Structures are given as structure tokens and as C-alpha cells.
Amino acid sequence: MSNDKNSTAPAPAPNFLRNIVESDLATGAHDRPGLPSVITRFPPEPNGYLHVGHAKSIYTNFGLARDFGGRCHLRFDDTNPEKEEQEYVDSIIDSVRWLGFDWDYKGPVGAGNHLYYASDYFGKLYEMAEYLIKTGRAYVDSQSAADMSANRGNFSTPGTNSPFRTRSVEENLQLFRDMKAGKYKDGEHVLRAKITEDAMSSPNMNMRDPAIYRIRHAHHHRTGDDWCIYPMYDYTHPISDALENITHSICTLEFQDHRPFYDWLLATLAEGGFFEQPVPKQYEFARLNLTYIVTSKRKLRQMVEEGIVDGWDDPRLPTMAGMRRRGFTPEGIQLMCERTGVTKSDGWIDFGVLEGAVREDLDPKAPRAIAVLRPLKLIVDNFPEGEAHECTSPVHPHHPELGHRTFPFTKELWIEEEDFMEVPTKGYFRFTPPIDGNPGSRVRLKYGYVVECTGYDKDENGKVIAVHVNYFPDSKSGTPGADNYKVKGNITWVSVPAALEAEVRLYDRLFTEEKPDAGGKDFKEFLNPKALEVVKAYLEPGLKDAVAEQRFQFERHGYYVADRVDSQPGRPVFNRIVTLKDSWAK
């Protein structure tokens, strides 16, 4: 199935996850009545805003479902009452949709809206915990946190059994019920799994009687004060997957060591009649690491809270809200996710790969426009005062069907400061004044007339404030004879009286260092002071009708978007999405 919103959707390349799904489809490994044979899920914890790494996970999970006709669930993994908030739930929903995916599945079988919350399973999770206790596979531990941690051992030392490990089933059940009833304080007891008799000496630390329930007298964003015990992630996650009939539970490599517990728990509960076989299977892939950013939720929060950036949607941040405001396209982000592939070993991807994918997505579809970002006045001395000649150019050079745009040529124009040089360097073909009896340079004002430079004005500080030219009335672009003028320079410009004055925000990478937080470095030392520059620019008049989130290529400068927050009708504010070329490439 293809996603028709996604015009640049690449043909899916094979990768190990797609191979697994294909082979499972071939053998019918997950065929069950009334259910699609591929069901994946994206399980964010609503404790922060999503970032580009999550985009990769969304793309991987929803993309697999899309490509194989299955469905993908959005599940909030909300088992941690203290840190979770509705604000995060809302922003996550927004971001997944914006990236182009939906949990509302159309079938052929198993259609419906597949949005879930782990907290909806609290009742069932509790019931299964009682089952584990009753079958001798869980016990209440009453050691102090310090003892518990000391007795877990470490990679080289086996753990030591808790003195409470031999409690009777009746005692465990009573204690667990009393924990639920609120008879104990936070931390007084925990419920732990007992996988095997000698599990505390397992080489895998995750198998050493992992905690599955803890006491937290805390208000939960959805269940309120109904519960004062909360299930742990490693316990909740496999069960949630099984309850939702997930077939392929895809996560990042750090969960590899958790897989034996995942498998043990589901096999045990299936044996107890809670689930039917086949139960979900976990597969791990390498997380996306991009250079020149940080993605740790803690560090992102720190930058927001310390005012280093202006909120979670600051266009400099790699959050999905930030990337959206920056003007990155969902299709461009998807293209980056596809290109970077799915692998089994960790590595780094250059940030330029993301920027390149966004450029590639925008080039064929972004309308062109002219913007003068660092204005210098150009005066056409022989042009009649008060007149305006209409000039025309294509909306897109390769898409004539998009039509034309028009703008006036007037006596006073804005050009870029860098398009004039008092003393030209070799190979400079823009505006240069008459020197030593030689005439000034001749250039074409793009889509307008050919002009010849006759002089310039300076202010009292020696700064050039205006350039003077004469125009050739028979040189207008698109008119017969215009080609008789051979010039080397082709300069962009806008009319002074017609120009739209607008704030333009020139964004660049947030850090100057490839791996700003690697190896214990303080990422704040590598903030790029040039990550944001705000200029007052003069734009082609038609841009006044730009609507929020509309994207353009400003000729010669790059891709820009009308800011979705600060743009007003008739008064857009533009953000630089990305320059035309990668100035960071080594």
C-alpha cells in the first residue's frame, strides 16, 4: 500500500526487518482470524516532545505496516505517573499525524482506530501479576532499595537471593493486595518476578528477579488516584503488545537484553491462558544518531527551560515540533528515514543527510520567489520617475503548468549588498563601477532589463549606500532583441516601492560540533552563535499572500517557509529551512 500524501515516497528497499516480515507472511506465522498478519506499534512515553529519532521509529513501525498492508498502533506507554502530561500526549498525536501516518486502519480486516494507552491495561496487568504470584513466579520483596541494588550483583558478580524470596504464595498475595489497597508507603515493597530458582545468578542482569510492580502514591494523568501501585516498563510492554495482538514488536538495540524476559513473560502468561500463540516477537534495530544535534529528552528540556531556545518548537531544535516550524517537510523526513535504512549496528548519520533529503523533496515542488536579504539600493537614473514595467517569470522553472508570477520594475530597486564591488576581484561579474576610463559592468536584472553601472554613493562613514545604473530600454527579458545583450551577471532584485518588507529568520545548525554531547562533553559549550540571525528583508510583492507553512525557494538563497506561529495575513514572517548547498560539508 502506498501513502498517497507522500509524493516522493521511495520504493521500499529491503532491510532485515522487511525480510523478517516477508518471511513471516510467506509462512503465515502470524495469520489469525479477523486480524491483519502484520501489526506493529509505536510506543512513546508521554514525558516529552518527540524528536527526529522518534521520527525514525514512527517511520519504521508505521512504514512496515503500510508497506505490508498491516496496521500500526499508537500506544502511550504511560506507566510513570510523575512525569507524564496531557500536553505531551497532544503534541505526540500531532507529530505522528504530521509525519503522515495514521492509526485509523481501514482494513480489509481489523479496521478501526488503534490508539491505546498502557494505563488502560492496569486492571489486566494487575490480574496477571496475581497469576504470577499464585503460580510461584513472583514475590513481594521488602528489602531496602540499597540492599536490593547491592544484592543484584553486577556483570561480573552473581546476585544474592533476597531474604524475602521464599515467602509463601498466601503471604505474597496478601502483601500485594495490601500494596494495592494503599497500606504501604512508596518503596516499602516491590513485586519481583522469579523466573527460575537460580535467576539471581543469571548472566543477564535483566533476568535477576526484575521488579514488576512498585508503590507510587501519585496522581496519574488518566487514571487519577485509582492506583497507588504501578507496573514497570519491562512488565507492561510485552503484555500491552500481546493484548493488542502485535506481531512484530520493534525497538532499539538497548532492549536486546530485555528480550529473554519479554519472551519468558509472554510464554508464561500464554501457558496461563491469558494469550493465544503466536505471541508477539521483539526485534531490535540501531537507533538513529544524527550529528550536530542532541536528542536526550533531559538535554532538550534543559535548553527549553534555560531559555537557550524559544520553546519546544524552536526551529533550531531537532524536535518534531521544531522541525515542522523550521519548514522541514514530512516527506523529506521520511526520505531521510528510508535512506538511512535499518541496521543492527550503531553508527552516526551526518545532519546533511536530513537537510539533503528536505532539499530534494522541496526542489521539484517549491514555487520560486525573489528575496533581498541584505539590501542595497540601486537607482536606474534614466528610468522614468513614477513608472512601473511589469516583469514576468515562471513560478517554477521546470513546471510551466504552475504558471507565471509578475512584479514591477521601477526606478529604485533593492539588490543584495554583495552584488556590488567598488574594487572588483578577478572573476567578479556583478556590479562594478567605471574604473580608469573603462565603463562600469553590464548585468541583467533577472527577468528585467540589462543595465550598466555608472557610479555609486557613500555615506559619511564610507559605506556604499546606493549604486547608479542606466538601463537599455530594448533589453527587457522575453522581448525581441533582448538576446543581443551578452552579459555575464544575472542579478536578483525587487522594486523599492512594491517590495514587501518582512522579517526573515536565518536558521543554521544549533551546534558547531559534530557530537556535542559525546564522551561527557558539555553540549552548551558548542552552541553555534550563528544558529539564528534575524534580518529585515525585501521580498517580491506577491509573497504577501503566503500562508502559514507555505514553502518557497528564494532564488539563490535557499528554501524558506512562512512561520506557522508568527505569520499574519498579509504579513508573513519567513524561516530559512535550508540553504541551497550544504556549507558544512567537509
Among 3, 15, 32, 45, interactor with ligand ATP by CB under 6 A = 45
- Using DSSP bridges, classify how beta strands 138-141 and 190-193 pair: parallel, antiparallel or unpaired: antiparallel
56 lies in the binding site for ligand ATP (CB under 6 A)? yes
C-alpha cell at 411: 526606478
Query: CB of 405 within 8 A of CB of 447?
Result: no
From 30-38, 47-55, 162-170, 424-432, span contacting ligand ATP (CB under 6 A)? 47-55
Query: 285 near 343, Cβ under 8 Å?
Result: yes
- Applying CB under 6 A, the span of 46-54, 319-327, 418-426, 450-458 interacting with ligand ATP comes to 46-54
Is residue 331 within 8 A of residue 3, CB to CB? The reply is no
Enter the DSSP assignment of 256: G
Q: Check residue 43 for interaction with ligand ATP (CB under 6 A).
A: yes
Cβ proximity to ligand ATP: between 191 and 251 the closer is: 251
Cβ burial of 53 (10 Å; 0-12, 13-18, 19+) is middle
Q: Which three cell numbers stand for residue 301?
A: 528540556
What is the 8-class DSSP label of residue 220?
Answer: B
Q: Which of 30, 54, 167, 220 binds ligand ATP (CB under 6 A)?
A: 54
The 494-523 contact track toward ligand ATP, x by CB under 6 A, reads ------------------------------
Min. distance of Cβ 112 from ligand ATP in angstroms? 23
Shorter beta-carbon distance to ligand ATP: residue 322 or 572 = 322
- Given a contact cutoff of 8 angstroms between Cβ atoms, the answer to whether 379 and 420 are in contact is no
Q: How far is the CB of 373 from ligand ATP (least distance, A)?
A: 34
- Helix or strand holding residue 116 (H, E): strand 115-117
d(CA 317, CA 281): 34
CB of 233 to ligand ATP, least distance (A): 8
Query: Which residue, among 350, 359, 328, has the nearest Cα to 100 in the 3D structure?
Result: 328
Which region, judged by CB under 6 A, interacts with ligand ATP, from 10-18, 45-53, 410-418, 461-469?
A: 45-53
| Residue in 251, 304, 333, 342 binding ligand ATP, rule: CB under 6 A | 251
Distance of CA 275 to the CA centre of its chain: 36
Shortest distance (Å) from residue 289 CB to ligand ATP: 7
Residues 284-303 interacting with ligand ATP (rule: CB under 6 A): 287-288, 295, 297
Among the listed residues 36, 44, 280, 440, the single contact to ligand ATP using CB under 6 A: 44
* Least distance from ligand ATP to the Cβ atom of residue 328, Å: 16
Active site residues: 45, 287, 297
Q: How far is CA 93 from CA 42, 43, 320, 505, 557, in A?
A: 11, 12, 11, 28, 34
Verify binding: residue 53, ligand ATP, rule CB under 6 A: yes
State the minimum distance, in angstroms, from the CB of residue 346 to ligand ATP: 10
CA 51 from chain center: how many Å?
5
C-alpha 220/C-alpha 120 separation (Å) is: 12
Determine if 91 is a binding residue for ligand ATP (CB under 6 A).
no
Compute the chain's Rg from CA coordinates: 31
Tell me the number of residues near ligand ATP by CB under 6 A.
14
Q: Which is nearer to ligand ATP, 270 or 349 (CB)?
A: 349
Report how far residue 486's alpha carbon sits from residue 229's, in angstroms, rounded to the nearest whole number.
81
The verdict on whether omega for the bond into residue 108 sits within 30 degrees of 0, i.e. cis, is: yes
Q: In this complex, which beta carbon is closest to ligand ATP, that of residue 55 or of residue 266?
A: 55
Which residue stretch of 49-57, 130-138, 507-515, 516-524 sits at the interface with ligand ATP (rule: CB under 6 A)? 49-57
- Cβ-closest position to ligand ATP: 53
Considering only the stretches 51-59, 238-246, 331-339, 534-542, report the one whose residues sit in contact with ligand ATP under the rule CB under 6 A. 51-59
Q: Distance between CA 18 and CA 97 in Å, rounded?
A: 23
In the complex, minimum distance from the CB of residue 83 to ligand ATP, in angstroms, rounded to a whole number: 8
- Smallest CA-to-CA distance from 490 within 450, 444, 453 is with 444
Shortest Å distance, C-beta 93 to ligand ATP: 13
Amino acid identity of 230? Y
DSSP 472: -
- What size, in residues, is the chain? 586
Of the candidates 8, 206, 252, 470, which one interacts with ligand ATP according to CB under 6 A?
252
Nearer to ligand ATP, 56 or 551 (CB): 56
Contacting range for ligand ATP; rule: CB under 6 A; set: 40-48, 127-135, 196-204, 208-216: 40-48
- Binding of ligand ATP by 444 (CB under 6 A): no
Q: Which is nearer to ligand ATP, 159 or 332 (CB)?
A: 332
Angle between helices 122-134 and 233-243 (to 10 degrees): 110
Dihedral of CA 191/193/196/201: which sign?
Answer: negative
* Chain residues that interact with ligand ATP, rule: CB under 6 A: 43-45, 47, 53-54, 56-57, 251-252, 287-288, 295, 297
